[in-house]
Amino acid sequence: MNKEYKMKYGKDELSFSLDSSLIVDELVIKKFPELPDPAAAIREAIRNPIDSKPLNKIVKPGQTVAFIVNDPTRVANSYVFMPILLDELNAVGIPDEDMRIVFALGTHRLMTEQEMIEAVSPAVAKRVKMYNSNCRNKEDFQFFGTTSRGTPVYFNKLVTEVDHIICTGNIVHHFFSGFGGGRKAMLPGVAYYETVRKNHSMMLDPNAVIGKLEGNPIYHDQVEGAEMCRPSFLLNVVLNEKKKFLKVFAGDYIKAHQVACEFVNEVYGARIKQEADLVIATCGGYPKDINVYQLQKTMDNAWCAVKPGGMVILLGECIEGTGSELYEKTMQKYKTPAEVETAIRTDFQIGAHKAYAVTRLMNKAEFVLVSSLDPQLAKTLLFTPAKDMNEALQLAFKKLGSHPSITLMPMGSFTVPHM
């Protein structure tokens, strides 16, 4: 019997019809109660932190503070907790002029003034100065040393020339560094380009995988780098697919993060009955599908649920295109996943690494992309373009037959399938 399904696409939804008897799994986040009073939970977390003194016992009058805050590609509801953090420090004698916000852009594009204001709230934007961390301006960064894995560690002076660094953000699974959040506010968040490039080059290691911290060289390298300019405190949140708070974690930037990751596994881990012939996945709409760079995270999750030789239909608007000029140039130059991998192993570059991250998944299954990208560009990126869901489903049934097993992933950027 045919049934209508809806999945998020950009700031809208796409509808499509399927025979419901073909659906073997529909993967969603486990139901955890939303926090009834996020502000109260934030205050409780920072006053009773994990393996740390409370925030108001760490920062002393006369000292300066830098808050590291997520950019728009990583929703953390910073506008909810930033006023609380400022007020908490005001109460112990730290005036607004002794605090600043630095946005953890990593190698992402610079934020506009309006994006900064929206991220932290107009009220907070009026109180403290806000800055982008531009990874390309080497003079903005201070050198701290080289990690045991050879990463030269440079952090933005906006965070190194204060008394206390407070890391904030959200936590979800990450496709090669295990989990987001924690130390990632520092590295890659406010690190120099070469620091990020060298650290991320370890994604070629077989232990650099989703959901793994212990033994993951990228994670250990990031922590080793962050320890050279150790953050004083961490506030990380876990949200559901509606961007509502599920839990707040605060304290030591390593220990509190590790505890939070255990909860993230409970929330976002999705057990599957079997790998499916066809996986239909959406990133979850804007900003998770703002570009191919962000879309790739959903690809990784869908890859876990599809059979070898199967097909994945991806819904991702990609209103900002690929998200990386170097990624595009790499794909214009190399025509197969094998060629891309050889090139990346020879000369690892941020942006070009996304070409490897995307195309390595295509060795297992065909990826059909429903997006606003020019179809020729989608083909250059080795996707099969489809103008809408009808065309995508026609391609799937033509390849897989009339009765493929189907797994739906309406929260594709969050849910991490496992057997």
Q: Are residues 200 and 280 in the same domain?
A: no
Q: Answer whether residue 189 is part of any domain.
A: yes
What distance in Å separates the CA atoms of residue 260 and residue 280, rounded to the nearest whole number?
Answer: 29
What distance in Å separates the CA atoms of residue 98 and residue 9, rounded to the nearest whole number?
Answer: 41
CATH of the domain at 232: 3.40.50.11440
The per-residue pLDDT for 73 is 82
**Where a domain ends, among 238, 267, 296?**
267
CATH of the domain at 354: 3.90.226.30
Q: Answer whether residue 32 is part of any domain.
A: no
**Where a domain ends, among 247, 267, 287?**
267
**Where a domain ends, among 216, 242, 267?**
267
Say whether the peptide bond before residue 188 is cis (omega within 30 degrees of 0).
yes
Q: Are residues 260 and 367 in the same domain?
A: no
Q: Provide the CA 241 distance to its chain's centre, in angstroms.
A: 14
Q: Are residues 145 and 111 in the same domain?
A: yes
Q: Answer whether residue 304 is part of any domain.
A: yes
Q: Are residues 199 and 308 in the same domain?
A: no
Strands 23-26 and 173-174: unpaired
**Strand segments (E) across 180-286:** 233-239, 245-251, 269-271, 276-282
The per-residue pLDDT for 74 is 86
Q: Are residues 315 and 237 in the same domain?
A: no
| Look-up of token digits 């008897």 | 21
Packed helices 38-47 and 78-90: angle between N→C axes, nearest 10 degrees: 50
Which segments of 269-347 does DSSP mark as H helices, in order? 292-303, 325-333, 337-346
Q: Answer whether residue 33 is part of any domain.
A: no
The per-residue pLDDT for 377 is 97
Q: Are residues 317 and 406 in the same domain?
A: yes
What distance in Å separates the CA atoms of residue 153 and residue 161, rounded to the nearest whole number?
Answer: 15
Q: Are residues 389 and 295 in the same domain?
A: yes
Residue numbers of the domain that contains 278: 2-27+272-418
**Strand segments (E) across 216-362:** 233-239, 245-251, 269-271, 276-282, 306-315
Q: Are residues 313 and 353 in the same domain?
A: yes
Q: Answer whether residue 329 is part of any domain.
A: yes
Give the chain's domain count. 2
The per-residue pLDDT for 414 is 87
pLDDT along the chain (419 residues), means of 10: 94 95 93 96 98 98 98 92 98 98 95 97 98 97 98 98 98 94 98 97 94 97 98 97 94 98 94 95 93 92 97 97 92 96 93 92 97 97 97 98 97 89
Provide Rg for the chain, Cα atoms: 21
Q: Answer whether residue 87 is part of any domain.
A: yes
Q: Are residues 47 and 164 in the same domain?
A: yes
Give the closest residue to 315 by CA, choosing from 361, 241, 370. 370
Q: Are residues 80 and 209 in the same domain?
A: yes
| Separation in Å, CA 274 to CA 28, 259, 297, 360, 417 | 16, 30, 21, 22, 10
Q: Are residues 284 and 184 in the same domain?
A: no
The residues pairing with 155 across neighbouring beta strands, listed in sequence order, are 142, 191
For residue 288, report the phi and psi dihedrals to the nearest 5 degrees.
-65, -25
Say whether the peptide bond before residue 287 is cis (omega within 30 degrees of 0).
yes
Q: Are residues 254 and 276 in the same domain?
A: no
Contact 183, 257 (CB under 8 A): yes
The per-residue pLDDT for 29 is 85
pTM greater than 0.85 (yes/no)? yes
Q: Which two tokens stand for residue 93?
A: 């004698």
Q: Answer whether residue 213 is part of any domain.
A: yes
Q: Answer whether residue 369 is part of any domain.
A: yes
The residues pairing with 314 across neighbouring beta strands, listed in sequence order, are 281, 369
